[in-house]
Structure 1
Amino acid sequence: MPKPNFRFTHYDLHEQRAGTVIEVTLNAVNNVRLMTAPNYQRFTEVLDFKYIGGVAKKSPIRVVLPESGHWHLIVDMEGHHGLAESAVKVIAAPAGQKHAS
């Protein structure tokens, strides 16, 4: 099975609620891609996949999860000089937020 031909760091964020903030700290410009579990599977198989994010030129960056579910975050060096050192922090969704039922 083919794999992406660039180095990346994978963070499995597990099940998270919509509105949860993901804070990513980087020591260099890299791509930050937040994706659902099915899209992560497609990423690993080098198929077309959808993601939230893109080139992170500043640090830290914050991304808000648009929906509840199992999320994955990738920091990758595609198009850049090398793989950045990275850290990810999950910040709980604000209390009292309306939830779709």
Structure 2
Amino acid sequence: MTETNFAEYSWEFLERGTILAVTLSGPANLRLMDPENFAAFQDGEKFESYGGLARRAPYRIKVPKSGPWFLAIDLAGLGVRGVRHEVSVVPPQKLEARRTSRD
């Protein structure tokens, strides 16, 4: 296996509808994956993920279903190094409370 060029975040459980707000100092591929797809990603096999190329921050990814999740901040193919990153988790209840207070 080749040297990995990604940072990893993991959660044992995220509720469906949770938003991951990712702040970056440069461009990166953001890949939100369930455990099976993350294992395939690590092994260099075919995988499916949510997210995409983030050029501006914050980049928001919505968790599609409840369960364990991994987020890979992948720099492969971008020609960049040393991108700083931070991830904030916004639970669905907090989002609903914001909507209600604006009404």
Q: CA deviation at 1:94?
A: 2.9
C-alpha RMSD of matched pairs (Å): 1.6
Residue 44 of structure 2 is matched in structure 1 by: 46
Unaligned runs of 5+ in 2: 97-103
Any residues of structure 2 matched to 1:14-93 within 5 Å, and which? 14-83=12-81, 84-93=83-92
Distance in 1, matches of 2:30 and 2:11, equals 14
C-alpha offsets along residues 40-64 of structure 1, whole Å, 9 cap, x if unaligned? 1111111100000111011011111
Which structure: larger Rg?
2
> Following TM superposition, where does structure 1 have runs of at least 4 consecutive aligned residues deviating by more than 3 angstroms?
none
Unaligned ranges ≥5, structure 1? none
Percentage identity across paired residues of the two chains: 30
How many angstroms does 1:6 deviate by?
4.6
| More helix as a share of residues | 2
Letter in 2 for 1:86: H
**Secondary structure at 2:41's aligned position in 1?**
helix
TM-score (norm 2): 0.83
TM-score (norm 1): 0.85
Q: Secondary structure at the match of 2:92?
A: coil
